[in-house]
Structure 1
């Protein structure tokens, strides 16, 4: 059995994920690991928009730019950590999530917290990726 690829699964007997993620993402031995700093919704001009959905869009755009800079795609993403200071518009988040991922979702954690690094930041997303 070829084990030189990233695999994702939801084990039998476990509850179905409550969102668009996978319970386990496994990378093969000797893979190259990439860990990003938390990405925020700053635009290309260095401005942080007031609206959460605009910040969500910009954050995913920034993640795509990071991936491209290392010749990675969303298929290389193994783990996503999301922190937000406001209640998420899940329809919008999953619209952007769907643009990044098909249905082969990475592991994910999301948490609501009272504040991030700057008062205007409403969302921060950290990505872990692996190149096999």
Structure 2
């Protein structure tokens, strides 16, 4: 639990998460909910790099801009959905993940798809956040 009233937990009797996420994230009643569109790895000029890791880096930078625009922090994030079209370099993604979340992980879903909105997009990340 953090000072925002959001609870993240892995209940007793459940298998441990296979990655850096929590099985359950509970938000307090009457919280304000924020849902982002899927964020992609464009740079500040709208260019989508060909490297998956560059796209990951840009995507996390774009997520930070969104959070800052609403005076949110990673503590407010309750759910992350990640879609990718090719194998994710988990060491690299988790490096960026740790920079954003530290050790307080939100709930997360990951899916691999054949294609996202544009053929050059390799990863897309959607954020759900709550502010009490």
**Aligned equivalent of 1:114:** 114
Distance 1:4 1:42, change over 3 A: closer
Equivalent positions of 1:26-65 (< 5 A) are 26-65=26-65
CA distance in structure 2 between the partners assigned to 1:101 and 1:119 by the alignment: 29
Aligned residues: 130
The answer to whether residue 94 in structure 2 is matched with residue 94 in structure 1 is yes
Distance 1:4 1:102, change over 3 A: closer
**Aligned equivalent of 1:11:** 11
Structure 2 spans left out of the alignment, 5+ residues? none
Distance 1:93 1:4, change over 3 A: closer
Structure 1 spans left out of the alignment, 5+ residues? none
CA distance in structure 2 between the partners assigned to 1:57 and 1:93 by the alignment: 8
CA distance in structure 2 between the partners assigned to 1:54 and 1:12 by the alignment: 38
- Could you tell me whether the CA contact under 8 Å between 2:4 and 2:131 is conserved in 1? no
Give 1:4 shift.
6.5
Using the size of structure 1 for normalisation, the TM-score is 0.97
Structural RMSD (CA) = 1.1
Give 1:71 shift.
0.2
Give 1:55 shift.
0.1
Secondary structure in 1 matching 2:97: helix
Equivalent positions of 1:47-86 (< 5 A) are 47-86=47-86
CA distance in structure 1 between the partners assigned to 2:57 and 2:4 by the alignment: 33
